[in-house]
Amino acid sequence: FDESGFLREVCRFVRHKPLYGHIRLLDATGVERWHISSSGQHTLVLPEDQLQDKSRQPYFEAAMQLQPFEVYVSRFDLQLQNGLVGDPPNPVVRFATPVQSPSTGARGLLVIGVNGADIIRVHDVREHRLALAGLEMLKRVSEKDGRAD
């Protein structure tokens, strides 16, 4: 398994998907094996001395109970780095699924952190477009009925 080649591909993927703020692989004890962080413009593979223990995080405990191909979706919460809320605070939703190494059989989790602010922004745009489409439809109906006010 070419881990460095795999990480390059994940970085390339994340660079084109700014919705994904963090992608990490946790081992069975909850320690990060690798962590890719993205701001949408910059993608960084964290150095080994910056990897963290996530074993006490609710998403880790819940997702480790899942079967292969099942996905855990967290609630919205604030991104923590070394136990502290970032400045500015960054809301996040995490998607986690169990993974297993085909060569060693070791289990772990693949965790994708989705930027909550982007989810909210996409939702607001969709709501705005739906509202405009509804108003446009009402306008057309009223014009057909000769009641354009």
> What pLDDT score was predicted for residue 64?
94
Q: SS3 breakdown of the chain: % helix, strand, coil, rounded to 5?
A: 35, 30, 35
Most confident of 10-14, 50-54, 119-123: 50-54
* Digit-coded pLDDT (tens) for 93-121: 899 999 887 777 778 999 998 887 777 66
Q: Which residues, including other chains, have CB under 8 Å from residue 20's CB and lie 6 or more apart?
A: 14, 38, 112, 113, 114, 115
Which sign does the torsion angle of CA 100, 105, 108, 110 carry? negative
Confidence band of 124 (pLDDT split at 50, 70, 90): low
Backbone angles phi, psi at 68, to 5 degrees: -55, 140
With residue 73 as reference, give the H or E element that holds it: strand 72-73
115 closest CA partner among 43, 18, 15, 11: 18
Going by pLDDT thresholds of 50, 70 and 90, the confidence category of residue 19 is confident
Mean pLDDT of the chain, nearest integer: 79
Q: 42: buried, middle or exposed (CB in 10 Å: 19+, 13-18, 0-12)?
A: exposed
